[in-house]
């Protein structure tokens, strides 16, 4: 088991989204609570993609997308659900991978489908936003040598660039 490094996240977010499938996330909470989960579904958002929060310019909401790779970008949708993203590529270029689904195996087995369910059940909130997996280590990501097959699908819940096959899901 090897922790993913900066070079992994410096890659194009489309590639990172695919390569994150089957990787293990460890979520470390300050109350000595820890969750371990395998990433099973992702979506890629980068640069001028009209579906990206950062397609036009930097704002206070999307600022994390412009930060260094490994930065965590957490935002609220529908006023109630948090979504977890990992920033990719070079600092200053907006690029991130949304974690859509995971399979939790510690402390209990649980399949979480949908980014809101992922954050709710793993207790990921706005306090994770703009932290970095290489510095604060609230979340760590490991290669656990899982070889996976996956589907390329259209992204979900967006109104622009809907036909782009930038959602990646493990075939079970």
Give the bridge partners for 99, in sequence order: 42
| Residues in CB range of 42: below 8 A, 6 or more apart | 17, 18, 20, 21, 97, 98, 99, 100, 167, 168
Mean pLDDT of all residues in 16-36: 94
Return the SS3 of 106: strand
| Residues in CB range of 129: below 8 A, 6 or more apart | 64, 72, 73, 74, 75
* Per-residue pLDDT, 157: 85
* Per-residue pLDDT, 163: 83
Q: What is the CATH number of the domain that holds 69?
A: 3.10.300.10
pTM of whole model > 0.75? yes
Asked if 87 and 69 count as a contact pair (C-beta separation under 8 A), the reply is yes
Answer whether residue 58 shows pLDDT above 90. no
Range of the domain at 144: 2-170
The two tokens of residue 96 are: 């991130």
How many C-alpha atoms does 98 have within 13 Å on its Cβ side? 26
Mean pLDDT of all residues in 145-161: 89
Return the SS3 of 19: helix
Mean pLDDT of all residues in 48-74: 86
The two tokens of residue 70 are: 């490994």
Answer whether residue 53 shows pLDDT above 80. no
- Number of separate domains in the chain: 1
* Per-residue pLDDT, 50: 67
Asked if 38 and 23 count as a contact pair (C-beta separation under 8 A), the reply is yes
């Amino acid at each position: 088991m090897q922790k993913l490094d900066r070079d992994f996240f410096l890659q194009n977010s489309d590639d990172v989204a695919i390569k994150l499938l089957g990787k293990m996330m460890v979520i470390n909470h300050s109350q000595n609570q820890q969750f371990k989960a395998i990433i099973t579904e992702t979506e890629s958002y980068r640069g001028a993609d009209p579906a990206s929060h950062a397609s036009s310019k930097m704002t206070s909401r999307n600022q994390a997308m412009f930060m260094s790779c490994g930065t965590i970008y957490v935002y609220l949708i529908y006023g109630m659900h948090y979504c977890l993203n990992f920033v990719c590529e070079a600092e200053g270029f907006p690029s991130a991978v949304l974690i859509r689904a995971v399979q939790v195996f510690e402390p209990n087995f649980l399949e979480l489908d949908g980014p809101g369910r992922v954050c709710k059940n793993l207790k990921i909130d706005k306090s994770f936003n703009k932290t970095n997996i290489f510095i604060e280590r609230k979340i760590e990501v490991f290669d656990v040598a899982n070889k996976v097959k996956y589907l390329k699908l259209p992204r979900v819940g967006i109104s622009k660039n809907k036909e782009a096959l930038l959602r990646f899901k493990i075939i079970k």
